Structure 1
Amino acid sequence: MTIFLQQVFNGLTLGSIYGLVALGLTLVYGILHIPNFAHGALYMVGAFISYFFMVDIGAHYWVAMAGAAVVVAVLGVVCERLVFHPLRNAPPIHDKIAAIGILLFLEALVHMVWGSDFRRMASPFGGVVNLDGVFLREQGILIIASTVVLVVALNLFLRKTMVGATIIAMAQNREGAFLVGIDANRVAMMTFAISGALAAIAATLYAPLNLVYPAMGHLVIMKAFVIIILGGMGSIPGAIVGGMIIGFAEAFGGYYISTAYKDVIAFALLVVILSIRPQGLFAKGAH
């Protein structure tokens, strides 16, 4: 039972990170119908910006997280204005090519500024809590708690504010939103800003448990796409549930089967679940 509970905690930690990354990705797709392959690069940039604030400037962890969220949110808006907005009437393949171009550009920029070395980012939450034989990392507890707070805050923002209502309106009916005078440009910028901030926060939360390096977003974004496909493209609840499914599958599969197959499990689950339910777990959000 102790081992089982340990893997539950590990699964919650992984699932929370995957869910946060997938949440930003599914927001952009659900509202703007853009499969943003550059989202993994924004995640990576968020980790390096936090590292810069903490190591080079000496800022506190929370300040570094807030700074990274702001910087990557602005970067997301810049990408939307300079790259995706001019392509709004172009064939869909152009968005995909542009997103890959952004990814390659940001990785090259990080290589130029910070190099290719692996870096470790410290955290003030480096302790371990022993709960009757189950070892809970303080950073893992922070990740789970932060994810709950962010998901609740995002839900309240979308449902209780006028700006959130315009975002939901765009997601539900783009033509109807235009007809009632909703500013599509403002919604697009806000969506990319939220998506970028979520990616940066997720990277800052997970970096102390992992390493910071230019290619750190590759596997994360692949799993994030698996998650939003599992949950239903564009579904916010699907992103969270899908993230938890992948997190638990990796935690339990890595322990009971082999850590060598940990990263394969996500893609095996994708095949199995879509064979049973091709539209994803949350059909309402699927397109």
Structure 2
Amino acid sequence: MTLGGIYSLVALGLTLVYGILHVPNFAHGAFYMAGAYAGFYLMSAQGFNYWAAMAGAAVVVALIGVLAERLVFHPLRNSPGLHHMIAAIGLMLFLEAGAQAIWGADFHRMETPYSAVVNVAGLTAPLQRLLIIAAAFGLMVCLHLFLKKTTTGATIIAMAQNREGAALVGIDANKVAMMTFAISGALAAVAAALYAPINLVYPSMGHLVITKAFVIIILGGMGSVPGAIVGGLIIGFAESFGAFYISPDYKDIIAFALLVVILSLRPQGLFTKGVR
């Protein structure tokens, strides 16, 4: 459940960007890493509390996302898709090298005030893991309401469904693209700040997460928000049960095996394409 929540948050940001630009953002894992480092720095060096550091990390990575859209992806808007992918890989390497230059290649641990272990309905679980589950699902609900109930959310959906038609009715494509990258970056940063106290903070920490996020959005249907949520939960549960009943050594393989099985039965993914 914990992994499913983290994977879904990361995949949500990735699928929103794909829905607008129709280009897979390989730098999204580096956004996740930047969020962890931002939260770690704000807590360890600036004395922020956990929640303030998480909010600060979300703002920092949202700004990184906007800058990436303006400086990297926007100039390539009329270029072939391959150019976007190469640029995203270059951005990923740049952010990882920057983190290593500032903090080094060592592993860091982000502190949490929720280190206690609690008993819920006869089950013992770390409080941080329960926090991850509650926060992840709360953010998913908030994002759903934002997309469904607000005018700004409606413009994102319109852009994802028909970019040319949205432009014809006066929707500013540049503004929507920047806003989408900001939301995407903020979701990645919050996911990283939630999971960093359980995991460790290091420059390449986003590699496996972004790989799983791509599995999830392909599994759920490219560009589908419900697909990203359901796909994240499926992968998270499959890994957890696989690690418990088979072996922790095979839990990462299970996600890709499940992808092959489901796509062989439903090639278009669990949900049809489009942010909804």
| TM-score, normalization by structure 1 | 0.94
SS of 1:57 mapped into structure 2:
coil
CA contact (8 A) 2:3 2:236 kept: yes
Aligned equivalent of 2:227: 238
Number of the residue aligned with 2:182: 193
Map of 1:216 onto structure 2: 205
* Alignment partner, residue 129 of structure 1: 118
Provide the C-alpha distance between the structure 1 equivalents of 2:148 and 2:232, rounded to a whole number of angstroms: 22
Q: CA offset at residue 34 of structure 1?
A: 1.8
> What is residue 261 of structure 2 aligned with on the other side?
272
Residue 187 (structure 2) pairs with residue 226 (structure 1): no
In 2, Cα distance between the equivalents of 1:193 and 1:240? 19
Residues 173-188 of structure 1: pairs in structure 2 closer than 5 A: 173-188=162-177
SS at match of 1:209: coil
Q: Tell me the residue number matched to 1:33.
A: 22
How far is the alpha carbon of 1:32 from its aligned partner?
A: 1.7
User: 2 CA distance for matches of 1:232 and 1:131?
Assistant: 35
Cα separation, 1, equivalents of 2:213 and 2:150: 27
From 24, 40, 47, the equivalent of 1:58 is 47
Change (3 A) 1:77 1:255: same
| 1-structure distance, mates of 2:145, 2:272 | 23
Q: Secondary structure at the match of 2:26?
A: coil
1:138 aligns with 2:110: no
The within-5 A match list for 1:69-218 is 69-131=58-120, 133-218=122-207
2:11/2:217 contact within 8 Å kept? yes
Task: Output one character per residue of 1:53-103: Cα deviation in whole Å (capped at 9) or x when no partner.
Answer: 001111100000000000000000000000000000001100000000000
Shift, 1:131, TM fit: 2.9
AA aligned to 2:83 is H
When structure 1 is superposed on structure 2, of 67-76 and 167-176 the one drifting more is 167-176
State the Cα distance separating 1:285 from its structure 2 match: 3.4
| 3-state SS in 1 of match to 2:196 | helix
TM-score (norm 2): 0.98
Equivalent residue of 1:208, what SS? coil
Paired amino acid for 1:248? F
8 Å CA contact 2:58, 2:187 repeated in 1: yes
Query: Identity of paired residues, percent?
Result: 72
Counterpart of 1:3 in structure 2 is: none
* Equivalent residue, structure 2, for 1:48: 37
Alpha-carbon deviation of 1:42? 0.4
Q: Structure 2 unaligned segments of length 5 or more: list them.
A: none
**What are the residue-to-residue correspondences of 1:251-262 with 2, within 5 Å?**
251-262=240-251
Rounded to whole Å, the distance in 2 between the matches of 1:133 and 1:254 is: 21
Considering only aligned residues, what root-mean-square deviation do their CA atoms show, in Å? 1.0
Amino acid at match of 1:174: R
**CA separation in 2, counterparts of 1:58 and 1:117?**
21
1:165 Cα offset (Å):
1.1
Tell me the matched-pair count. 275
> Are the equivalent residues in 1 in contact too, given 2:32–2:185 (CA < 8 A)?
yes
How far 1:173 moved relative to its partner?
Answer: 1.1
Partner of 1:285: 274
Runs of 4+ residues deviating >6 angstroms: none
Q: In structure 2, what is the Cα distance between the partners aligned to 1:132 and 1:80?
A: 46
- The 1:175/1:132 distance shift into structure 2, 3 A limit, reads closer
